[in-house]
Amino acid sequence: MMDTHEPATMVMGERKRVALIAHDNCKTDLLDWARFNQGTLAAHELYATGMTGSLLAAELGLTVTRFLSGPLGGDQQVGAAIVEGRLDFVIFFWDPLEPHPHDVDVKALLRIAVVYNVPIACNRSTADFLLSSPLMQRRYERRFEDRRPPPRAAIA
């Protein structure tokens, strides 16, 4: 039997909802990148996990809605926000060479971003290319296969 899924779209407005995440030994690099792109980032709605959000708000004066720390469920919160259509974009400076106790959550987040066709940058070069894209300043219709189960019929 062939598995078919309905195509779905999610419209990203001109002001993107961007999640910023960095593992501990990548926080300095993300902060430096965010400082360089501060003007562009300020034009969008920013979200971040735990300490990353605190650093961005304190050191750059950006308004950031914070999730929990990654190991305490923040990565899962970001994934849920993607599934629910509350995030458009992810910048995740992660360290693939260091073991992390929440590695399974990191992989789940990366998987969710791909399944829902969300732009995700996992290093500085990709983040530079994505953030400088002309699509960052205009509406964009993101397409993905809707794998969510259909709503249940009301029980009589």
Question: Exposed/middle/buried for 29, CB within 10 Å: 0-12, 13-18, 19+?
Answer: middle
75 is catalytic: yes
Active-site hit among 75, 105, 128, 146:
75
In order, the DSSP letters of 8-77 are EEEEE-SS-EEEEEE-GGGHHHHHHHHHHTHHHHHTSEEEEEHHHHHHHHHHH---EEEE--GGGTHHHH
CB 82 within 8 A of CB 75: no
Which whole-number Å values give the CA distances from 12 to 89, 118, 120, 141, 155, in the listed order?
9, 10, 14, 6, 35
Q: Which residues belong to the active site? A: 75
